């Protein structure tokens, strides 16, 4: 959580501890991973997920799905 986000497997004790430490924390689940992030750190959370998967091809629809889950507006035009 040093950078305002955490991408991890869902562990109940971790969730409860994070919610105690950071009452404003938000979470979302995508492709068997749970994302915990502080408001304003949504884009960094998306980047961290794809950075952790260097062996995968990243397509725009996957980025769109994650952005929608985290409430980030994106466009193909850049």
Q: Residue 35 has what pLDDT?
A: 84
- For 13-35, the DSSP string reads HHHHHHHHH-TT-EEEEETTEEE
- Residues whose CB falls within 8 Å of the CB of residue 33, separated by 6 or more in sequence, listed in order: 7, 8, 9, 49
pTM tops 0.85: no
pLDDT digits (tens, 9 = 90+) for 1-57: 668 888 877 777 878 888 888 889 888 888 888 888 989 998 998 888 888 776 677
CA distances from 72 to 14, 15, 41, 54 (A): 25, 23, 10, 22
Q: Residue 6 has what pLDDT?
A: 81
The token duo for 16 is 């409860």
More confident residue, 2 or 74: 74
Q: Residue 54 has what pLDDT?
A: 64
Residue spans per domain, the chain:
5-70
Mean pLDDT of the region 52-74: 82
The token duo for 38 is 């502080």
């Amino acid at each position: 959580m040093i950078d305002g986000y955490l991408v991890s497997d869902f562990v109940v004790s971790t969730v409860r501890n994070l919610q105690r430490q950071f009452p404003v924390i938000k979470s979302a689940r995508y492709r068997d991973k749970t994302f915990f992030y502080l408001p304003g750190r949504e884009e960094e959370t998306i980047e961290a997920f794809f950075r952790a998967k260097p062996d995968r091809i990243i397509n725009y629809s996957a980025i769109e799905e994650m952005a929608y889950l985290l409430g980030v507006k994106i466009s193909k035009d850049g």
